[in-house]
Structure 1
Amino acid sequence: MRVPDELTKRRLTQARRLLAIAQTGLHYTTGAFDKERYQELLGLAQDQLADLADVSTAHVAQLFAHERGYANPKIDVRCAVFNETGEVLLVREAADGRWSLPGGWADIGASPGENAIREVREESGYIVTLARLLAVWDMPKHEHPPSLFHTWKLVFLGNIVAAGDISGVETDAVGFFPVGVLPPLSLGRILPEQIRRLDELRRNGETEFD
């Protein structure tokens, strides 16, 4: 999907907010009348998201079918790993054939750091330890393609302990690349300017957050 313009960004934010209000309302309301109205609001929000993302309303409804309770942003946890020459570790996503930092949705039952270590091991084969948190980014504030979910991205700095083989099914290749000469990236997951910024942050000993 193309990078959204400012109007599309505002409409996405509004649609996500409407969906969150409907989801939270359906969780807390005890009145039949209110439940009916929140259900109607939910349908309108799903229609808006479907139009903006150019997918069917049924697809949006399926994606959010298991979202219950008070609505919260989703958490995307990733790990930035650099070798001794400053090249960054990237994995190729089987879903779109493009490259990204190893990572994904945070799983319940594990801490953010534990999730990051597991994702690196499964997607690249490398075993890492975490040095520190590099960035916490609110994805709608960056130039990602339109997304149905409101997502926060946590990126840790990882140090390689050992190498191994890819064990997951979501990636099909792994490699180290110069920060200035990156392969085609999966822009819904990571942007070139974000990788360059992560390199600056790790070299300067800094952490960035939105």
Structure 2
Amino acid sequence: MSEWLSWAKRLHALSQAGLTFTKDEFDRERYLELQQIATEMFERQSNLALQEITELTHVDGYPTPKLDVRGVVFQEDRLLLVKERSDGRWTLPGGFCEVGLSPAENIVKEIEEEAGFDVVPIRLVALFDMHHHPHPPLSQHYYKLFIECEVIGGEAQASQETSDVGFFTRDDLPPLSLARNTLEQLHMCFEARWQDDWVTVFD
């Protein structure tokens, strides 16, 4: 990650924490100014317009990492992937957790919506901090949960977010959407596939 982007994220988080807890209007003005500086730093280090960055970095309350769930679904030795309409590349089905749903409930919902399959969550394969993996720089901080699931119904079906659905072997993976999952993470999923005593990986 760019050192400048890392500084901007930290500055933005600190200013948001200050805005959450301060009761002094003068301090509020200072925190808002710090937040504006962080946003301008984001703009300098990305291809996004200032308004887009402001929308992406907007947080209510104390800033915490977002939670992203990814479904690990196998058909024999082939792994389920979906093709994202947004970038034309492939990923494990999933997305941000919604308020009111558990991680398990979220991944069931995401797989049904993005791939058409009904599933039952089996186990947590991994919990990763995106900062520890070679994802492209993003404006916010994410934790990623990889949840293995078993298909109990449904059929492959694309959606508003996905243009294709397929199962792939370890040696025949398509171009990946790296903001969502990396090659190393998918290889980990294949390693976990046949290990009944797999221990959840975390960092």
Same fold (TM > 0.5)? yes
Kindly state the Cα deviation for residue 167 of structure 1 after the two structures are TM-superposed.
Answer: 6.8
Aligned residues: 201
Q: Of 45, 55, 75, which residue of structure 2 is paired with 1:52?
A: 45
SS of equivalent residue, structure 1 residue 53: coil
Q: In 1, Cα distance between the equivalents of 2:167 and 2:89? A: 14
Distance in 2 separating the partners of 1:88 and 1:187: 17
SS at 1:19 equivalent: helix
Q: Distance in 1 between matches of 2:181 and 2:48?
A: 22
Is the aligned partner of 1:63 residue 2:67? no
Mapped partners of 2:189, 2:199: distance in 1 = 9
Q: Distance in 1 between matches of 2:129 and 2:202?
A: 8
Gaps of 5+ in 2: none
Q: Tell me, in whole angstroms, the C-alpha distance in 2 between the residues paired with 1:27 and 1:167.
A: 41
Matched residue, 2:12: 19
Instruction: Determine what percentage of the aligned residue pairs are the same residue.
Output: 41
Query: For residues 92 and 78 of structure 1, what CA distance do their matches in structure 2 show?
Result: 14
Which residue is 1:193 aligned to?
A: 184
- Give SS of 2:194's match: helix
SS at match of 2:45: helix
Tell whether the 8 Å contact from 1:134 to 1:202 is kept in structure 2 after alignment.
no
Alignment of 1:98-137 (within 5 A): 98-137=89-128
Using the TM superposition, give the Cα deviation of residue 171 of structure 1 relative to its aligned residue in structure 2, in angstroms: 0.7
Q: Which amino acid aligns with 1:197?
A: M
In structure 2, what is the equivalent of residue 82 of structure 1? Answer: 74
In 1, distance between residues paired with 2:46 and 2:145? 24
Contact 1:90 / 1:101 at 8 angstroms: preserved in 2? yes
Specify the alignment match of 2:64 in structure 1. 72
Q: Which amino acid aligns with 1:136?
A: L
Aligned equivalents of 1:184, 1:209: Cα separation in 2: 25
- In the TM superposition, residue 52 of structure 1 has moved relative to its aligned partner by 2.0
TM-score of the pair, normalised by structure 2: 0.94
Q: Aligned partners of 2:189 and 2:155: how far apart in 1?
A: 25
Alignment of 1:142 onto 2:142: no
TM-score (ref. length: structure 1): 0.91
